[in-house]
Structure 1
Amino acid sequence: MLRNARRGIVVAACLALIATSAACSDDAPSTGGGGTAAAVPGVTDTEITLGTHMPLTGPAAAGYSKIAPASKAFFDYVNANGGVNGRKIKYLIEDDGYNPANTQTVVRKLVLEDKVFAILNGLGTPTHTGVLDFLKTQKVPDLFVASGSRSWNQPEKYPTTFGYQPDYTVEGKIIADYVKKNFPGKVVCHMGQDDDFGRDSLAGVEQVLGADGVKSKQKYVTSNTNITPQIQAFKAAGCQVVISATIPAFTALSLGTAAKLGGFRPQWIPSSVGADYTTLAGLLGDGKVLLEGLIAPGYLPVSTDAANPWIQLFQKVNKEYNGNAPFDGNVVFGMNVAYLTVQSLLKAGKDLTRESLIAAVESGGFKNAAVGPYRYSKTDHSGIGGMQMGKVTAGVQAAFGPVVQTDDAAGPVTEYTEAAAPPPANGIPTA
């Protein structure tokens, strides 16, 4: 944990410098399931206990540390309005520092000591991968993982695990389709985190552009904040468009490092994972000018879209139950995950069991702030399947163009035409 905290300090120090220059084994299974609340871990007649692992410290804390508090705020809002079938939601948040070893420790604590009903929205590809088998053995619902790895969509192997956001291959295809149509003939390159995040993203990009359509392919690890060699390789290759699978700190580092290398300014198109303007502007400080023209896809309404009814709802909840925290895409993410969770719990019924919750998510049909469709079924645990491009103009990040959808196989990228559903008048989900 301490080592990751130090890495976070190093990242912050690097960004400060950039901003200045830019301004110029398995345990026995639990007995989950069963007819009465008393027999179901984490469920009583008055309470439902959920737990999560999040990077409240460490290299991924920038932005992401705001997600779980936002989810808790929405749960508190629901609790204040009667809860879920008379039960209030208790949300336990454990800091893993984006360190896989820590993740295993805190998840085992949540399951074996705290007896949570489900794990919700655990964040990170390298972190959450290490607890899949444990959660499967314990038969714990593993809902809405905060990562786009395709690993979460293996219902035969991991029947209790569900993704949430568009997987990285879907996102890679959508970005590459946009690049193919809007930057024909440009030299395209790719920067990826050295795990499933980067690999799945590149796989999607290459499905559309071909392996030869990506001239330079670079990787980074979160433990090393010196990415100058990768950016120098992009400059030497003449990259004009750089698609990146980067967390916020490394999106900011990429832009800042490029600016220091003789004004190297390709068109950056980062993954939605590392593209929230408010987070990036905070990291870059005076160097936020580098964000002008940034293009990235999104699957939720932009946090600055004050006319969007979902943003209005989440801003209200943020003000009343989240200490009026700086409102950004991470807050929107956390609140929509909580909204989806309440929808799922309601659909699971009053006689709440782990099995009924899994069946409820697999039944699909969810409508909330997501711009694209949820793909949940018995054979698909992947989550949202559509996205919309966005661009930073004059310091404002706004969506543009159609919502498009695809799969992580050979399917085409097509327009999604179904209109978004507004929230209920009181903002409380219904069954």
Structure 2
Amino acid sequence: MQMNFKSRSAFFGATIAASAAMTGAWALDTGVTDSTIRIGTIGPFTGPAASYSMVNKTDEAYMDMLNAEGGVCGRQIELVAYDDAYSPPKTLAAAKKLVEEDGVFLIYSTIGTATNSAIREYLNEQEVPHIFVSSGASKWGHRKEFPWTMGFHPPYTSEAKIYAKYILDTYPDGRIGILFQDDEFGKDFVNGLRAGLGEKADEMIVSEQPYVTSDPDVDAQIANFKESGADIVLYAAIPKFAGQAISNAQEIEWKPTQFVVGVGRTAVLRLEPAAVEAAKGMITAHFTKVAQDPKWSDDEGMQKWNAFMDEYYPEGDKGHSATIVGYGVSQALEHVLKAACDNLTRAGVMEAVSSMQNVELDVLLPGITLNTSETDSYPIEQMQLMRFDGERWELFGEVIDAWPLAMKN
């Protein structure tokens, strides 16, 4: 897999040139020595979103693999990981510790929208790369204000517009309820769904029900959906609450057409049998291959992922998309570091991450690659719909370019 580059970023190119002029050679930045590169990550190893910590644990395992293979740029990777329990104040404290005490070169693969929002301003003030954020919030693309931040996932607003287009095409008279986390993560989906439905939004959306991560359950919200007459529901929720919603809908015998956002789709893996039956036909959108799908059994990329899991993360859950996403994010970081080997500065990393073109990763769906530029900070801009058949997620339709949808409305 080869990384090709578009034109260099003027901002970071100027920073690098200034550094070279002052030193007479490429300088090594904070966190980089002749033998090591120290990087950081933050995740919910405990708390309501603890299942997502498998992303960070996969990151750790991937760095173990890289080090066993000789490292990157002739250096071993030192990954420092902290638990924030999905709490933004703890995320900020962890970021400050990584920067001010641990002296990391960069921070990547940090989980969550509110949590990353808590550290974005600080890391940009410190000019520390804050890259491959594990959240699809549209705000990660605000390059003018926050040039040191870069996302990874497709924007949530674009994903919501994909669902809206499918609903308009398939259920034009549908009555929609949306369960959403009452923060930027959830509101991005509400706004994207409304934008995608356009002038039909007020007519079709009959109930919007928020929850917060400290809620014990979402039973009241599901009861409200049923009472509203909604026959379609979108769960814009993390797995814990998406799973509760699916189970409660089955318990009260409410049978809508169900959609679940990509970050919540692993909820189906932990449902009771009756709820699994009720989840049949549920639709989601995603950008990576699914481990349980036998169509990938002979796929070279998934064979590499399987071998990696067996050797470096055998206790990891192959059925959880977090282990695939973590592998993909870390492989992307490997590409970026290799591209910056000759100028291992923070600005050099940002130049590399801002100029990717058609970069392939082992776990991405065919036709989906990483692409960025000076004006495009969303590395992944395509997704494909999937339907749950009671045992696994089955792809259907074509890969959808979400970027044009993101630019509408």
Per the normalisation by structure 1, the TM-score is 0.83
Match of 2:29 in 1: 40
Give the conservation status (yes or no) of the 8 Å contact 2:156–2:192: yes
Matches within 5 A, 1:184-223: 184-210=172-198, 211-212=201-202, 213-223=204-214
Tell me whether 1:257 sits opposite 2:251 in the alignment.
Answer: no
Q: Secondary structure at the match of 1:242?
A: strand
Give the conservation status (yes or no) of the 8 Å contact 1:406–1:412: no
Q: Deviations over 1:388-422 (max 9, x none)?
A: 01111131222221000123766469xxxxxxxxx
Quick one: distance in 1 between partners of 2:60 and 2:342?
Answer: 21
Tell me whether 1:404 sits opposite 2:400 in the alignment.
Answer: yes
Give the conservation status (yes or no) of the 8 Å contact 2:113–2:184: yes
Quick one: distance in 2 between partners of 1:375 and 1:108?
Answer: 30
Tell me whether 1:266 sits opposite 2:256 in the alignment.
Answer: yes
Q: Deviations over 1:78-110 (max 9, x none)?
A: 222222121122211110000111111111111
Match of 2:323 in 1: 331
Give the conservation status (yes or no) of the 8 Å contact 1:147–1:164: yes
* Higher mean displacement: 358-367 or 370-379: 370-379
Quick one: distance in 1 between partners of 2:406 and 2:307?
Answer: 41
* Higher mean displacement: 74-83 or 88-97: 74-83
Task: Identify if the C-alpha distance between structure 1 residues 227 and 186 changes in structure 2 by more than 3 Å, giving closer, same or farther.
Answer: same
Match of 1:315 in 2: 306
Q: Secondary structure at the match of 1:111?
A: helix
Match of 1:367 in 2: 360
Which of 36, 42, 55 is the aligned partner of 1:67?
55
Q: Secondary structure at the match of 2:82?
A: strand
Structure 1 residue 168: Cα displacement: 0.7
Which of 371, 380, 384 is the aligned partner of 1:384?
380
Quick one: distance in 1 between partners of 2:299 and 2:216?
Answer: 37
Structure 1 residue 173: Cα displacement: 0.6
What's the RMSD between the two structures over aligned residues?
2.1
Structure 1 residue 287: Cα displacement: 3.9
Structure 1 residue 324: Cα displacement: 4.5
Tell me whether 1:226 sits opposite 2:217 in the alignment.
Answer: yes
Which of 104, 116, 121 is the aligned partner of 2:92?
104
**Residue identity opposite 1:370 in structure 2:** L
Quick one: distance in 2 between partners of 1:103 and 1:376?
Answer: 27
Quick one: distance in 2 between partners of 1:310 and 1:199?
Answer: 34
* Higher mean displacement: 82-91 or 154-163: 82-91
**Residue identity opposite 2:152 in structure 1:** Y
> Could you tell me the percent identity over the aligned residues?
32
- Structure 2: segments with no counterpart, 5+ residues: 1-18
Q: Secondary structure at the match of 1:407?
A: helix
Q: Deviations over 1:239-261 (max 9, x none)?
A: 11111211000100111121222
Per the normalisation by structure 2, the TM-score is 0.87
Quick one: distance in 2 between partners of 1:363 and 1:258?
Answer: 45
Match of 1:238 in 2: 229
Match of 1:424 in 2: none
Structure 1 residue 282: Cα displacement: 2.5
- Structure 1: segments with no counterpart, 5+ residues: 1-32, 414-431
Structure 1 residue 38: Cα displacement: 7.3
Match of 1:118 in 2: 106
Q: Secondary structure at the match of 1:236?
A: helix
**Residue identity opposite 2:325 in structure 1:** F
Tell me whether 1:341 sits opposite 2:329 in the alignment.
Answer: no
Match of 2:11 in 1: none
Match of 2:43 in 1: 54
Match of 1:83 in 2: 71
**Residue identity opposite 1:89 in structure 2:** I
Structure 1 residue 341: Cα displacement: 0.4
Tell me whether 1:135 sits opposite 2:123 in the alignment.
Answer: yes
Give the conservation status (yes or no) of the 8 Å contact 1:47–1:87: yes
Q: Secondary structure at the match of 1:391?
A: strand
Quick one: distance in 2 between partners of 1:246 and 1:223?
Answer: 13
